[in-house]
Structures are given as C-alpha cells and as structure tokens.
C-alpha cells in the first residue's frame, strides 16, 4: 500500500508540473491555433536561468530564502521575455500564412533555442542546487512523500488559482477569452489582439518557468535537452485534456503523470517515455478532441 | 522612414537582446568549483550582431515591400535564372550531362574521405526528395521521417547479422518494410489535421528509437550492431577504397532513379491529386479524389525511400546504433526540404548539397550547424516561404487579352 501511495504522490507531482507547462500550450493554441513547439525550450530556459542565478547567489553567500525568491523571479522574467520575443520573431509575421508555416517556424525556433543554450552554456548535465529544504514536520512520512513533492503541489495549485482569477476576473482575461472565441470580432470591439497574444505568450512562459524551476530542484540536474521531452509530454497532457481548454490541461497533466508513475512503477521503467508517446498517439486516433475539449465542427 | 529613426529602433532592439541573452551568454558558473565567470565580451558581440541584423532585416523587408508594390503582374517573367536555364530541353540535357560527368569523375581526383562525404550528401539528397513527396507535394508534415530510415537500416543490419542476407536482397525488403510501417502508421493518423499529424509522427519516431534503444534482445540496444557487410558486386571482394567508390556510384544511380521517378510522379494523376489535396482538401473530395488513399500512397512512398536509404546507410557505415536516428535527423531533412522549396526537385538537391557539404568543409562552422538549421527554418518561413528555388506550377496562359472587369 505504501508503494501505491508513493507512486500516487510522485505521479501527482509529475502531473502538476506537466499541467503547468501544458497550460502554456493550451492557452496559445486557444488563441492563435498554433502548437507552440518552442514552449518546451522556454521551460528549459526558465530552468537554466534559475540555475545560473541560484548558483551565482549561493556562491556569493546569500541566504536560502533570498536565493529561492530571486531565482524564481529571474526565471519568470527571462522566460517571459523569451516567450514574447519568440512570438514577435517567429509567429507574428506568419499570422496569415498557410497553417504549416508557423509550425515549421516553431520547430526551427525550438532547435535554435536548444543549440543556443548548448553553445552559450554547456552540453553536460549540471547539478541543480537544493532550493527546497527537508521540512522537519514531514519526517514521519518522508519515505513516502518528500518535502519537494508537497512544495510543488502547493505552488502549482497557487499558480493555477492565480491563473483562474486572471482569466475569469480581470479585463485582460476577458479580452483573452474574447480573442480565443473569435479573433476578428474581438478586433471589431476594440481589443488590441496583438497585445493580447503577447500577454498570452508571457503568461504561458511564466508558468513554464515556474515549472522549470520546480522540476529542476526536484530532479536535481538540468541540461539543454530537457525541454524537448518535457515539451512533448506537456503537449500530450494538453491534448489529453482537450487542447484549448484550461481545466482540461490540468486534468490531462494529472492523468498523464499518474499513468506514467504507475506504468513505470508496476510495468517497466525502461519504457517510461514510450508510455507517454503511445498515450498521445492513442488519444489523437480515438478521441482527438480530448477529455474536456469540444469536438470541432468544420463549416464549409 | 528616416534613417535616424531606424537607427534608434535598432539600438533599442539590440539593447533588448543584450538583456535577453544576459544570463545565458554572459554568466557561466561552475557549480563544482564554485566559481563564476563573467563573459562581458559576449554582451558586446550580441549588441553589435543584433544591431547589424536589425538593419539587414529592415533593409530586406523594405526592398521586398517595394518590389511587391511595383511588380504584381509580371510575376511570370521573373522566373529565376535556373528556371530559364532548364526551360529549353537542349540546355537542360547539356547541363545535366555536364553535372553527371563531374559527378562520375569526382572519385578519381579526390580522396576517399571526400568521396565518403559526397556519398553522405547524396543520401540526404534522396532522403530530401523522399520527404519532399510527403511534405512538399502532399502537404503532410512528417516529423518522424527518420523512423522509416531506421526501419530500413535495422532491417538490413538484423537480416545480415542473423541470416547473412546480402545488400541487394535486403534493399527491396528494407524499402518495403518501411513502406508497410508507413501504411500502418498512416492508416489511423492520416485523418488528423495537419498539426496533429506532425506531433503524432514525431511521437512515432521517438517510440521507434526508444524501442530500438531498450529492447536489447532484438536490436542489441544502445551499443548497436557492427560488422554489417558492405554491398557486393557480383561476388567480387572489394577493398575499403573500392567499396567507398562503389557505394558512391550506387548513390548516384539511386539519385538519378529517384529524380526520374519523382519528376514523373509530379506530373502524374497521383502527383496532381497530392498537390490539389495540399491546396484544398474539401474541394478535392468534392472532385472525387479518395483523400485517404491518396495520402496513404504519399506517406508510404516517402517511407519507402527512407527505408532504401536506410539500407544504404547501414551498408555504408557498417555500424548502426539508435543514436543515428534522433529527431534532429528528421529536422535536418525537413530543413533541406524547406530551404530548397517545398515541392521543388532542383531546390531540394541544391539545399541538401549546401546544408550537408558546407558544415563539412567549413569545420569552424560545424559547431553552429544545428543552430543554423533552426534559424534557416524560421528565416525561410518568414522571408521566403517558397524556398531557394520555387517550384513553378504548370500553368496555361491564355493569349487573349482579358477584359478589365475580369482582371479584378
């Protein structure tokens, strides 16, 4: 039973992270109908930035709390900046191009960013500093649930609550919902659609950065290639929940995380990634609209 | 726009990029030695580089806009130099013959290393032409193309290892197996929309690679299969140099056959159906084209070529392991198709030669190879979506003057 709970908790943790990244995919898809292939790389850049800032600060002897706050802030700021710039360079000029063009451009951007980090930093795995201490009150259950798991779950819950408030309650959120429903109509009622798209990219990137920071401190090492796999898995989560739907992304992330955790725990750990990919292929074949998504009707 | 204003905007852009690249370019930490290296010189390079880039891009955009404003009607006359060159059959055959002569003579005045590099480039030409059927003509974005390449390579390696089958016996088997895999994958996923198809094929490519890596009893895992025999020539024993030259000539032969077939396909009923499907699926179905069958044929034909080249690859290197079949390989082939111009045969050949030979001869640049491939994909989509050498569609031109009402 302990083993089951352990797998369940690690699945939830994984799932929460996937959900954080999946939100970026789903929001961008909801607004401009593009699979932002470079989103995984934004997450990787978030993890790298927090790694650099945290290590520099710890070398200069800052206290742990300051390191955590500053590293998190830096990750969010720079990831958002990258997300914004990527949209401006690679997607904005292609707003009216055929459907495949922005996708190819996104793949190019993803390869570019990967190799940019590889050349600017290193290709080795880097040890990520421990940012989350082992809490004393977690001692009795530490063999089942780690402190990091708890911190990750709480942080992602808070992030998702903030996101819900922003989308449901603020003016920007309202404009975002309007743009995703009908871009032309939104423009006609005076919404600056380009600005809303930029805001969407910035919010999605900020969430990915938080995900990057959390998972890097959970796993304990990073390298330039982590974005590729995480990106595909988060995309799987987004599709599983129904792409374009925000609760769907969270649900999809959790389902994927639990599936992976149980599959590796009870079946085989060698094929961890194969499970995720197969899940993706099967959903797309049998239920492309996802768990919570609406089936798309095409008018001719 | 005034020059000063442009300069100011360029300055802001470069400042933004200095900020953007600051943590990754300037700071480098060593977490084990616990030292920080500040590389301030990189910030300067980024600033100057972005500024120049900005001016270049602005200049190009202005020229493009100016050209678009002045030339709308005379598009047909603005065919590129190469198109004019091959317009007349005599020039075309002359040029083709000359190129062929150079290609045949090549191994005699270059080292076997050079020949080997050239063989690799030719393999990418054929791979590019194969993917061109899928992406360029049928408009199906296949990101798992390398999976079919792997199927071909592994079928030769395994059949040779276990049963001692030769190159020529496996060549059709490898191609056929890859085509069957293409159909197996294509059958359920081809009804998906374009961008989903891209991701599913990507997932499929990764699944194949992961299985090859982890299923040790079948594929010998990450250590790969070695001692694969080279292609035979009527039972002759070839030494290493001769074998390299032999494979080079084989590739030239394959390339010519591929060019011939792809060229014929393009003008066939099937080829026209592909192009029509790419342009408008619904109209196509209304015209009575079986959407699924047509797409499946494109998919499996593309896979067939990848399988054939996979067999050649295994025979050429005599050693394969799953590391040769990563997503990046698919991305390189896609970059070739995109750079050359989707659907354009000459474009793909040229692009493959450029993208494979350039990093090989400019060793200093080879580190930046993948960076450049990524940048090429973005830049081509933004600035020149039709590719280096655009594919010119066959058009019928009416000589009769149109009335003004029709023109609009």
Please report which confidence band the pLDDT of residue A299 belongs to, taking 50, 70 and 90 as the band edges. Answer: low
Residues B96 and B132 in one domain: no
pLDDT of residue A138: 65
Give the burial class of B238: count Cβ atoms within 10 A of its Cβ; 0-12 exposed, 13-18 middle, 19 or more buried. middle
Task: Please state which of the ranges A108-117, A140-149, A259-268, B183-192 shows the lowest mean pLDDT.
Answer: A140-149
Residue B96 contacts A, CB cutoff 8 Å: no
Q: Is residue A231 part of a domain?
A: yes
Residue of B nearest to A95 (CA): B382
Q: What is the ipTM of this complex?
A: 0.85
On the question of pLDDT at A206 being above 90, the answer is: yes
Residue B80 contacts A, CB cutoff 8 Å: no
Residues B272 and B379 in one domain: yes
CA dihedral of B121, B331, A80, B12, whole degrees rounded to 10: 30
User: What is the rounded CA–CA span in Å between residue B162 and residue B174?
Assistant: 15
Count CB neighbours of B60 within 10 A: 12
Range of the domain at A263: 20-134+146-286
User: What is the rounded CA–CA span in Å between residue B267 and residue B394?
Assistant: 9
Give the mean pLDDT of B199-211: 85
List, in order, residues 6 or more apart from A103 with CB less than 8 Å away. A34, A35, A37, B141, B194, B195, B198
A259: three-class secondary structure by DSSP: helix
Run of H or E including A146: none
Residues B214 and B360 in one domain: yes
CB contact under 8 A, B211 and A114: no
Range of the domain at B91: 75-109
pLDDT of residue B74: 46
Of residues B320, B353, B317, B325, the one with CA closest to residue B149? B325
On the question of pLDDT at A217 being above 70, the answer is: yes
Task: Please state which of the ranges B77-91, B163-177, B345-359, B383-397 shows the lowest mean pLDDT.
Answer: B77-91
Encoding tokens for residue B342?
């989707």
Q: Is residue B404 part of a domain?
A: no
Residues B263 and B347 in one domain: yes
Give the mean pLDDT of B110-136: 88
Q: Are A103 and A235 in contact (CB under 8 A)?
A: no
Of residues B164, B171, B169, B154, the one with CA closest to residue B229? B164
Q: Are B168 and B234 in contact (CB under 8 A)?
A: no
User: What is the rounded CA–CA span in Å between residue A219 and residue A55?
Assistant: 16
Number of structural domains found in chain B: 3
Percent with pLDDT over 70 in chain B: 88
Q: How is residue A123 annotated by DSSP? A: S
Q: Are strands B35-38 and B27-30 parallel, antiparallel or unpaired?
A: antiparallel
User: What is the rounded CA–CA span in Å between residue B325 and residue B306?
Assistant: 12
Give the mean pLDDT of A107-129: 87
pLDDT of residue B72: 52
Q: Is residue A299 part of a domain?
A: no
Residue of A nearest to B279 (CA): A98
Average pLDDT, chain A: 85
On the question of pLDDT at B76 being above 50, the answer is: no
Q: Is residue B403 part of a domain?
A: no
Q: What is the largest CA-CA distance in chain A?
A: 64
Sign of CA dihedral A156, A159, A164, A165: positive
Residues B92 and B182 in one domain: no
- Residues in B closer than 8 angstroms to A102, CB to CB, are 381
Q: Is residue B398 part of a domain?
A: no
Residue of A nearest to B140 (CA): A100
Residues B126 and B201 in one domain: yes
Residues B296 and B151 in one domain: yes
First CA to last CA across chain B, in angstroms? Answer: 31
On the question of pLDDT at B403 being above 60, the answer is: no
Q: Is residue A248 part of a domain?
A: yes
List, in order, residues 6 or more apart from A234 with CB less than 8 Å away. A18, A21, A22, A24, A25, A39, A40, A43, A253
| Best mean pLDDT range from A121-135, A149-163, B20-34, B385-399 | A149-163
Q: Is residue B343 part of a domain?
A: yes
Q: Is residue A204 part of a domain?
A: yes
User: What is the rounded CA–CA span in Å between residue A103 and residue A99?
Assistant: 7
Q: How is residue A88 annotated by DSSP? A: I
Q: Is residue A257 part of a domain?
A: yes
Residues 203-232 of A with CB under 8 A from B: 228, 232
Residue of A nearest to B378 (CA): A105
Number of structural domains found in chain A: 1
Report, in this order, helix, strand and coil percent for chain A, each rounded to 5. 75, 0, 20
Residues B229 and B304 in one domain: yes
User: What is the rounded CA–CA span in Å between residue B29 and residue B14?
Assistant: 25
Q: In degrees rounded to 5, what are phi and psi of residue A145?
A: -120, 125
User: What is the rounded CA–CA span in Å between residue A5 and residue A267?
Assistant: 16
CB contact under 8 A, A94 and B196: no
Run of H or E including A127: strand A126-127
On the question of pLDDT at B229 being above 80, the answer is: no
A221: three-class secondary structure by DSSP: strand
Residues B186 and B81 in one domain: no
Q: Are B327 and A110 in contact (CB under 8 A)?
A: no
First CA to last CA across chain A, in angstroms? Answer: 55
Q: What letters, b where the CB count within 10 A reaches 16 and e where it falls short, cover B155-190? A: bbbbbbbeeebbbeebbebbbbbbbebbeebbeebb
Count CB neighbours of B294 within 10 A: 19
Q: What is the pLDDT of residues A260-292, one digit of tens each?
A: 888 888 877 777 778 888 888 788 778 777 777
User: What is the rounded CA–CA span in Å between residue B233 and residue B256?
Assistant: 20
SS3 letters across chain B = CCHHHHHHHHHHHHHHHHHHHHHHHHEEEECCCCEEEECHHHHHHHHHHHHHHHHHHHHHHHHHHHHHHHCCCHHHHCCCHHHHHCCCHHHHHHHHHHHHHHHHHHHHHCCHHHHHHHHHHHHHHHHHHHHHHHHHHCCCCCCCHHHHHHHHHHHHHHHHHHHCCCHHHHHHHHHHHHHHHHHHHHHHHCCCCHHHHHHHHHHHHHHHHHHHHHCHHHHCHHHCECCCCCCCECCECCCHHHHHHHHHHHHHHHHHHHHHHHHHHHCCHHHHHHHHHHHCHHHHHHCCCCHHHHHHHHHHHHHHHHHHHHHHHHHHHCCECHHHHCHHHHHHHHHHHHHHCCCCHHHHHHHHHHHHHHHHHCHHHHHHHHHHHHHHHHHHHHHCCCCCCCCCCCCCCCCCCCCHHHHC
Of residues B61, B77, B58, the one with CA closest to residue B6? B58
CATH number of the domain that residue A85 is part of: 1.10.3470
Residues B125 and B262 in one domain: yes
Write the residue in B34, B192, B377 that is nearest to A284 by C-beta. Answer: B192
A31 CA to chain B: closest CA distance, Å? 15
User: What is the rounded CA–CA span in Å between residue A78 and residue B316?
Assistant: 46
Sign of CA dihedral B264, B265, B266, B267: positive
pLDDT of residue B124: 92
CATH number of the domain that residue B363 is part of: 1.10.3470
A126: β partners: A222
Residue B221 contacts A, CB cutoff 8 Å: no
Residue B212 contacts A, CB cutoff 8 Å: no
Residue B382 contacts A, CB cutoff 8 Å: yes
User: What is the rounded CA–CA span in Å between residue A179 and residue A185?
Assistant: 8
pLDDT of residue A75: 92
Q: Which residue has the tokens 């726009």?
A: B1
User: What is the rounded CA–CA span in Å between residue B252 and residue B246?
Assistant: 10
Write the residue in A56, A104, A285 that is nearest to B381 by C-beta. Answer: A104
Q: Is residue B391 part of a domain?
A: no
Q: Are B298 and B210 in contact (CB under 8 A)?
A: no
Residues B128 and B195 in one domain: yes
Run of H or E including A92: none
Q: Is residue A151 part of a domain?
A: yes
pLDDT of residue B34: 78
Residue B69 contacts A, CB cutoff 8 Å: no
Residues B208 and B254 in one domain: yes
| Best mean pLDDT range from A55-59, A97-101, B31-35 | A55-59
């Amino acid at each position: 039973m302990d083993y089951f709970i352990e797998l369940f908790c690690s699945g939830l943790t994984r799932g929460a992270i996937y959900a954080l990244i999946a939100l970026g995919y789903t929001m961008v898809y909801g607004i401009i109908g593009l699979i932002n292939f470079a989103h995984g790389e934004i997450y990787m850049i978030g993890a790298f930035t927090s790694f650099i800032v945290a290590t520099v600060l710890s070398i200069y002897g800052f206290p742990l709390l300051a390191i955590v706050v500053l590293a998190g802030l830096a990750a969010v700021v720079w990831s958002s900046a990258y997300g914004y710039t990527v949209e401006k360079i690679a997607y904005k000029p292609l707003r009216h191009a055929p459907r495949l063009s922005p996708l190819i451009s996104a793949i190019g951007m993803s390869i570019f960013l990967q190799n940019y980090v590889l050349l600017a930093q290193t290709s080795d795995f880097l040890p990520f500093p421990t940012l989350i201490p082992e809490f004393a009150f977690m001692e009795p259950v530490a063999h089942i649930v780690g402190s990091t798991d708890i911190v990750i779950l709480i942080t992602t819950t808070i992030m998702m609550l903030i996101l819900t408030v922003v989308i449901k309650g603020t003016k920007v959120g309202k404009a975002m919902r309007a743009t995703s429903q009908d871009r032309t109509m939104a423009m006609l009622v005076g919404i600056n659609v380009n600005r809303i798209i930029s805001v969407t990219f910035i919010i999605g990137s900020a969430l990915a950065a938080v995900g990057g920071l959390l998972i890097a401190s959970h796993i304990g090492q990073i390298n330039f290639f982590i974005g590729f796999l995480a990106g595909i898995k988060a995309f799987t989560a987004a599709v599983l929940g129904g792409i374009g739907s925000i609760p769907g992304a969270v649900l999809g992330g959790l389902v994927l995380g639990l599936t992976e955790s149980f599959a590796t725990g009870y079946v085989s750990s060698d094929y961890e990634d194969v499970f995720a990919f197969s899940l993706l292929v099967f959903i797309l074949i049998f239920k492309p609209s996802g768990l919570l998504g609406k089936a798309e009707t095409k008018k001719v | 726009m005034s020059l000063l204003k442009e300069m100011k905007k360029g300055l802001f852009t470069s400042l933004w990029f200095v900020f953007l690249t600051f943590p990754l370019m300037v700071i480098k930490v060593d977490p084990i030695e616990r030292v920080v290296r500040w590389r301030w010189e990189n910030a300067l390079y980024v600033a100057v580089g972005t500024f120049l880039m900005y001016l270049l891009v602005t200049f190009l955009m202005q020229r493009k806009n100016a050209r678009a404003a002045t030339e709308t009607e005379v598009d047909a006359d603005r065919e590129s130099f190469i198109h004019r060159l091959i317009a007349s059959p005599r020039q075309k055959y002359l040029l083709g013959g000359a190129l062929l002569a150079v290609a045949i003579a090549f191994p005699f005045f270059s080292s076997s290393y050079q020949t080997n590099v050239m063989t690799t480039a030719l393999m990418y030409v054929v791979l590019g032409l194969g993917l061109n059927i899928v992406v360029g003509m049928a408009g199906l974005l296949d990101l798992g193309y390398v999976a079919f390449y792997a199927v071909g390579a592994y079928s030769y390696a395994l059949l040779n290892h276990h049963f001692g089958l030769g190159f020529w016996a496996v060549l059709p088997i490898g191609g056929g197996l890859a085509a069957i895999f293409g159909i197996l994958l294509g059958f359920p996923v081809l009804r998906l929309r374009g961008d989903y198809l891209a991701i599913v094929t990507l997932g499929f490519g990764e699944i194949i690679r992961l299985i090859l890596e982890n299923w040790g009893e079948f594929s010998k895992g990450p250590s790969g299969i070695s001692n694969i025999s080279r292609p035979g020539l009527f039972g002759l024993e070839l030494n290493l140099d001769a074998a390299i030259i032999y494979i080079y000539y084989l590739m030239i032969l394959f390339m010519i056959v591929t060019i011939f077939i792809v060229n014929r396909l393009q003008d066939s009923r099937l080829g026209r159906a592909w192009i029509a499907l790419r342009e408008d699926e619904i109209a196509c179905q209304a015209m009575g084209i079986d959407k699924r069958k047509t797409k499946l044929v494109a998919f499996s034909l593309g896979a067939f070529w990848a399988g054939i080249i996979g067999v050649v690859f295994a025979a050429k290197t005599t050693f394969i392991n799953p590391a040769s079949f990563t997503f990046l390989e698919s991305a390189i082939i896609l970059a070739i198709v995109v750079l050359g111009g989707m659907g354009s045969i000459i474009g793909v050949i040229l692009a493959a030669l450029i993208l494979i030979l350039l990093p090989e001869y400019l060793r200093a640049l080879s580190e930046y190879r993948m960076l450049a491939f990524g940048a090429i994909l973005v830049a081509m989509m933004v600035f020149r979506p039709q590719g280096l050498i655009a594919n010119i569609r066959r058009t019928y031109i009416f000589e009769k003057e149109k009335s003004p009402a029709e023109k609009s």
